[in-house]
Structure 1
Amino acid sequence: MTRRIRQAVVAAVVGVVTTGVALPSTSAARAHDHQGRLWLSVVRGADPDGHERVWAVLTCGPDGGTHPDARAGCDALRAVDGDLTAVEPTSRFCTRIYAPVIAEAMGTWDGRAVRYRATFPNRCEMEAGTGPLFAFGDA
Structure 2
Amino acid sequence: MLRRLVVTAAASLASVAALGAGLPATAHAEAAPLPLPTLLAAPDHLTVTVSGSERRIDGTYRLDCSPAGGTHPDPEAACRRLDQLTAERRDPFAPVPADAMCTQQYGGSTTARVTGRWQGHAVDTTYSRTNGCEIARWNAMVPVLPAPGRAR
Shorter-normalised TM-score: what interval? 0.5 to 0.7
Aligned position for 1:90: none
Pair 1:36 & 2:44 matched: yes
Listed one character per residue, the Cα deviations across residues 27-83 of structure 1 (whole Å, up to 9, x for unaligned) are 8xx7xx9941000011116xxxxxx94111000011110111111111111123383
Aligned position for 1:115: 124
- How far the C-alpha of 1:99 sits from its partner, in A, is 2.9
TM alignment of 1:9-88, pairs within 5 A = 19-21=26-28, 23=30, 35-44=43-52, 53-81=58-86, 83-85=91-93
2:139 to 128, 131, 136: 128
- How far the C-alpha of 1:97 sits from its partner, in A, is 7.2
- How far the C-alpha of 1:128 sits from its partner, in A, is 2.4
Q: 1:85 to 1:35 in 2, by over 3 A?
A: same
Contact 1:34–1:60 (8 Å) recurs in 2? no
Report the RMSD for the aligned CA atoms in angstroms.
Answer: 3.7
Q: Distance in 2 between matches of 1:37 and 1:129?
A: 19
Aligned position for 2:114: 105
Listed one character per residue, the Cα deviations across residues 109-131 of structure 1 (whole Å, up to 9, x for unaligned) are 12210111021149xx4762422
Residue 69 of structure 2 aligns to which amino acid in structure 1? G
Contact 1:34–1:61 (8 Å) recurs in 2? no
Give the number of aligned pairs.
104
SS of equivalent to 1:128: helix
Q: Distance in 1 between matches of 2:113 and 2:126?
A: 4
Q: 1:129 to 1:121 in 2, by over 3 A?
A: farther
TM-score by length of 1: 0.55
SS of equivalent to 2:30: coil
Instruction: Give the 4+ runs in structure 1 shifted more than 4 A.
Output: 24-27, 136-139
